[in-house]
Structure 1
Amino acid sequence: SDETCSVVINGNQAKPVVLLPTVSTKDLSEQGKTAGPITFDIGLSGCTGSKDKTTKISTVFVGNQVTSNGNLGNTGSAKNVEVQLLDTSGEPINLTGGFTGDGDLQLEPNASEASATYTARYYSTGKAEAGTVAATLQYAVSYK
């Protein structure tokens, strides 16, 4: 019978939140500057994978407000700041049209848990102005 996995972000299943650190506007003084990288883990548990081969699991990210740079738009009060996601290799993720990381998570034979580490950071679109930064992202995982 088919079963599903439990998904957690940094160990939180109910309402996961990734908190970026406070940074100075000096760190985001011009377009393209980045600051405050913080890693977060997407973990799976209670999975039923193959007994004899690695199961590749797809991770899907869809931003609720995606900018022309492919980043998450800021719904807070800070100006000229977006939130940029990096994949498991540390490369920027372009969220335009969504993102699917095929095989970012891998369930080894007979294993019931897997995890992958991503990064979120501030991205400046110009001289940043102080304020709050908030962004939301929907995620899903699928495996066969």
Structure 2
Amino acid sequence: MSKSLLSAALVAALGTFAFIPSAQAATAIDGTITINGQVVAATCTVAVNGTSGGNGTVVLKPAPTSALAAAAATYGDMPFTIAVTGCDSSLNGKTVTPYWSGTNVNGSGRLNSTGTANNVNLQLLNSDDSTAIALNGAEGNQGTSSATVASQAATMTYYARYYATGAATAGTVSSTVDYTLIYQ
């Protein structure tokens, strides 16, 4: 009998908790996030200096230390191209501009060298071979020249060169930079 009485008391006590209102979650809307995108057909085939696949190498002429003896001295402007071909016809009339990025980009907008020479950066220039590209700028704010896609193709020319941050010492100079082509 006492087991039945204890069971009944336990059921009654637990049943009481079922009627206590639980804490309510906040349901007010605090804001809205809009997400926009665009689905496009395959863009273009990319070649750097005629090498397809999007990757390329620019080989600079050897620089004498005397040419890079003081900060801000430059040497060895070497042209290179980024060409897009086989573009979707919807891109005709659009501009294509590289957005440069990567771990070697420094706060001055140039590329740190991973080679053995000291006091040497690498600098990229626009097709006019005189306007430096600010590699540390945000997308659309690097001052990079663009090209217009026509007949499903476009070619952009840029220059790479040595840039002294002080009196350069002899050694190797090497760096990499990533790029993303922006079509607008």
TM-score of the aligned structures, taking structure 2 as reference length: 0.70
- Pick from 70, 73, 80 the counterpart of residue 30 of structure 1: 70
**Counterpart code for 1:56:** T
Pair 1:86-2:125 in alignment = yes
Does the 8 Å CA contact 2:127/2:145 hold for their aligned counterparts? no
2:46 matched residue in structure 1: 7
**Counterpart code for 2:120:** V
If each structure's helix is expressed as a fraction of its own residues, which one has the higher value? 2
Q: Structure 1 regions of 5+ residues with no counterpart?
A: none
Larger radius of gyration: 2
**Counterpart code for 2:117:** A
Question: Judging changes above 3 Å, is the alpha-carbon distance between structure 1 residues 99 and 26 closer, same or farther for their aligned structure 2 residues?
Answer: farther
**Mapped partners of 2:145, 2:67: distance in 1:** 34
**Counterpart code for 1:86:** L
* Cα distance per residue 1:7-35 (max 9 Å; x no partner): 11001124411111101000000000000
**Counterpart code for 1:5:** C
1:105 matched residue in structure 2: 147
Pair 1:119-2:155 in alignment = no
If each structure's strand is expressed as a fraction of its own residues, which one has the higher value? 1
Pair 1:39-2:39 in alignment = no
Identity of aligned residues (%): 35
1:103 to partner: Cα distance: 6.5
Task: Quote the RMSD (CA, aligned, Å).
Answer: 2.1
**Counterpart code for 2:136:** T
Pair 1:60-2:102 in alignment = no
Secondary structure at the counterpart of residue 127 of structure 1: coil
**Mapped partners of 1:92, 1:139: distance in 2:** 16
* Cα distance per residue 1:23-80 (max 9 Å; x no partner): 10000000000001100000001112349x6221121111321223210000000000
Does the 8 Å CA contact 2:94/2:149 hold for their aligned counterparts? yes
- Larger RCO, structure (CA 8 Å, separation 6 or more): 1
1:99 to partner: Cα distance: 5.3
Residue-pair matches, total: 141
TM-score of the aligned structures, taking structure 1 as reference length: 0.88
**Counterpart code for 1:70:** G
**Counterpart code for 1:134:** S
**Mapped partners of 1:54, 1:97: distance in 2:** 25
**Mapped partners of 1:72, 1:118: distance in 2:** 15
**Mapped partners of 2:110, 2:139: distance in 1:** 11
**Mapped partners of 2:179, 2:104: distance in 1:** 14
